[in-house]
Amino acid sequence: MSRFLTSAFYKFVDLPDFAQIQTPLLTVCQDNQVKGTILLASEGINGTIAGAPGGVAAVLKWLHADIRLADLEHKESWAAELPFYRMKVRLKAEIVTMQVAGLDPARTAGQYVKPQDWNALISEPGVVLVDARNDYEVAIGTFAGALNPKTKSFSDLPAWIEEQSKSGNALAAVDGKKPRIAMFCTGGIRCEKSTALLRQRGFDDVYHLQGGILKYLEQVPQDSSQWQGECFVFDERVSVGHGLLQGPLELCRSCRRPLGTVEKASPRYEKGITCPHCFDFKTEAQKRGFAERQRQVELARSRNQAHVGARMPARK
């Protein structure tokens, strides 16, 4: 039975006092036994939290009380186990890091396309469909026909756009006219910034999936869907499919890559320690540390106790 509510939200909005929001926001989350991660920056807020429905509702109510966040939208899904171990409210230079100066997604992002209208748009001739996520996310699922920039991090995307804008490439102008571009990402936040970048670079007909893949999987029936595979999510669920049901993948505790049956059948996979993606890049000392952490996790499980483990390496 699904007992825990997960809520994902973001908004690009001017928050010059974002540092002053950190402590009271963390307090209201802790008081309501809500866990997850919320990022605050001068450009806005980005977070995913989970807990009992009443606790999550209390945090959202607190956020909505700020007039700048009164229309903050969120996406909901359910989980049988709490998908986060801690509650973190972090101050950042950007709520999603692209490292491009002068972007203002709150005012210059592309046109929103509702999930119900997405299939029609991406089926139109001449529309270039771009997956704005990283390679490990695209590997487990994407829309049919989408371009994969094969980025390792979101900050790699500007260079890919610049390269693909050159003559003969996917985003190049034809007879002086730049192509129509439709972009998508997990929840929508990366597309807001990506489409703002495209418009800064002279692309006029730029669209993005409102609410991201998660909203599409929530609202579009599977029998009429153009989504293929699973959608990676940044919590203990690892992935979700249509209806936002938790998928079958597991997470490598060493490198945070999603693992399916093929990876887990590899001789380089050892639960909680290494997988084929990171086996060659972890030192013996690191592997020993992960092995001890896994031993402690299994010991706690045998005692029916919670164990948060050592802090996992952050994705760069």
164 pLDDT higher than 90: yes
Cα–Cα dist 37/63, whole Å: 14
User: Could you count the other beta carbons within 10 Å of the beta carbon of residue 174?
Assistant: 9
- Amino acid in position 245: L
Cα–Cα dist 234/96, whole Å: 14
User: Are the C-beta atoms of 194 and 157 separated by less than 8 Å?
Assistant: yes
pLDDT value, residue 314: 42
- State pLDDT tens for residues 16-73: 999 999 999 999 999 999 999 999 999 999 999 999 999 999 999 999 999 999 999 9
Percent of the chain with pLDDT over 90: 83
Residue of higher predicted confidence among 82 and 66: 66
Catalytic residues: 185
Cα–Cα dist 309/316, whole Å: 20
pLDDT value, residue 310: 39
Cα–Cα dist 107/118, whole Å: 22
Both tokens of 160, joined, read 């890919």
Q: State the pairing for strand pair 231-232/227-229.
A: unpaired
- State pLDDT tens for residues 213-235: 999 999 999 999 999 999 999 88
What mean pLDDT comes out for the span 188-215? 95
Domain 105-224 class, CATH top level:
alpha beta
pLDDT value, residue 34: 97
Could you tell me the pLDDT band of residue 134, with boundaries at 50, 70 and 90? very high
Mean pLDDT score of the chain: 92
Topology adopted by domain 4-91: Alpha-Beta Plaits (3.30.70)
- State pLDDT tens for residues 253-280: 899 899 999 999 999 999 999 999 999 9
Question: Would you list the domain boundaries of the chain?
Answer: 4-91, 105-224, 252-302
pLDDT value, residue 315: 42
Nearest to 197 by CA among 116, 109, 123: 109
| Helix/strand/coil for 74 | strand
Both tokens of 115, joined, read 């999930």
Provide the 8-state DSSP code for 176. Answer: T
Provide the 8-state DSSP code for 237. Answer: T
209 pLDDT higher than 60: yes
Could you tell me the pLDDT band of residue 316, with boundaries at 50, 70 and 90? very low
